[in-house]
Structure 1
Amino acid sequence: MDIFLIILAFVTLLIALVGSIVPALPGVPLAYLSLWLGRWSGYTPFSDTFMWIMAGVTLAVFLADYFLPPLIVKKLGGSKAATWGSILGMILGMIFTPIGMLLGMLLGAFLGEIMYAKRSGYMALKAAMGTFLGFLLGTGLKLLLCFYVLYELVSTWWATGFGGF
């Protein structure tokens, strides 16, 4: 059962890594779940203090991912039209590739500003860049958390002798 939990922890973490980029998957909560799966296995003895700290970090990254992009867009002069346009563009762009997702987000924010907020081309481009910067910052934080969780799982699993393999 312990080996199954370790494998499940790593599979969950791989899904979390994908979820750090694809908005449809909750990457950060899945990364935290992988810590719990590792802890329940008995081969990664994370302390209560560590789990509480990671709960706080997970919550902070989760909230930052939702609140930072709109704040950055607003700071750079964008409107809600840029935010909604970027979300729609990202969803439509996911059909094509990760690059399509990024381009769709930029184009959606730009068109949202031009068509609905009636902004000039310069202001629309500035808002689109703010959307892109917010996305990169949120994604970077999520990936950083996931890679840290991966490090913790691997290093503690290694220290316990590979969980009996």
Structure 2
Amino acid sequence: MDYLYWTLIILSFLLAFAGLIYPILPGALFLVLGFVLYGLFYSFHSYTIFFIVVQSVLLASLFAVDYVSNLYGVKRRGGSKAAIWGSTIGLLVGPFVIPVAGIIAGPFIGAFLAELVIGRKSPMDSFRVGVGSVLGFLGGTVVKIVIQLIMVGYFLYVVL
């Protein structure tokens, strides 16, 4: 049964990392699912108050990075709220419409079109905002990878 239990826990963690590529997947929740599965299958005794606090802070950081990185990337290039919404929608839809490339093209196209149509900016200004959206997304993704690796590493340190 240990193999089955650990397979489910590892699968939860892998789905969390897949959520970085397909943002429609609730990656952070899959991390928590892995922690809960371990507790249910083995024991919650390994989870000290310190562990719970650290993981909670890191979990909150994952959500904050999503918001701040997109906001920073768009605002840094002069984008409006419409561009932030366009980028977010593009990020969620892009990977499904254009597999693989959609993860980059989606936020760019969403922010670009939102600025062009709703923000009434020039094509060049809209292009800059689209690039800012992609840069913000990529920077945020790198930070989220690091945070998730720390969370999984700390979990493994505590339970093994």
TM value normalised by structure 1: 0.79
- Per the TM alignment, residue 44 of structure 1 is displaced from its structure 2 partner at its CA by 9.3
Structure 2 CA distance for aligned equivalents of residues 47 and 70 of structure 1: 35
What amino acid sits opposite 2:124 in the alignment? Y
Partner of 1:29: 29
Structure 2 CA distance for aligned equivalents of residues 151 and 64 of structure 1: 19
Which structure carries more relative contact order (alpha carbon 8 Å, separation 6+)? 1
Partner of 2:124: 122
- Per the TM alignment, residue 46 of structure 1 is displaced from its structure 2 partner at its CA by 4.2
How many residues are aligned here?
Answer: 158
Q: SS of the counterpart of 1:114?
A: helix
Structure 2 CA distance for aligned equivalents of residues 149 and 38 of structure 1: 14
Q: Is the 8 A contact 1:6 1:37 kept in 2?
A: no
Q: Is the 8 A contact 1:28 1:142 kept in 2?
A: no
Partner of 2:95: 94
- Kindly tell me: are residues 155 and 29 of structure 1, through their superposed partners in 2, closer, same or farther at Cα, counting changes over 3 Å? same
What amino acid sits opposite 1:13 in the alignment? F
Partner of 1:14: 14
- Kindly tell me: are residues 52 and 110 of structure 1, through their superposed partners in 2, closer, same or farther at Cα, counting changes over 3 Å? same
**Cα offsets for 1:14-62 (capped at 9, x unmatched):** 1111112211111123213323333442499343312211111111221
What amino acid sits opposite 2:126 in the alignment? A
Unpaired stretches in structure 2, ≥5 consecutive residues: none
TM value normalised by structure 2: 0.81
Q: Is the 8 A contact 2:74 2:129 kept in 1?
A: yes
Structure 2 CA distance for aligned equivalents of residues 58 and 25 of structure 1: 15
- Per the TM alignment, residue 132 of structure 1 is displaced from its structure 2 partner at its CA by 0.9
Identity %: 29
Q: SS of the counterpart of 2:101?
A: helix
Alignment of 1:1-165 (within 5 A): 3-40=3-40, 41-42=42-43, 45-95=46-96, 96-154=98-156, 159=160
Q: Is the 8 A contact 1:32 1:55 kept in 2?
A: no
- Kindly tell me: are residues 91 and 52 of structure 1, through their superposed partners in 2, closer, same or farther at Cα, counting changes over 3 Å? closer
What amino acid sits opposite 1:78 in the alignment? G
Structure 2 CA distance for aligned equivalents of residues 79 and 49 of structure 1: 40
**Cα offsets for 1:58-102 (capped at 9, x unmatched):** 112212212331243123210122122223333442222121231
Moved more, 10-19 or 101-110: 101-110
Structure 2 CA distance for aligned equivalents of residues 43 and 117 of structure 1: 51
Structure 2 CA distance for aligned equivalents of residues 77 and 124 of structure 1: 9
Cα RMSD (Å): 2.6
Q: SS of the counterpart of 1:118?
A: coil
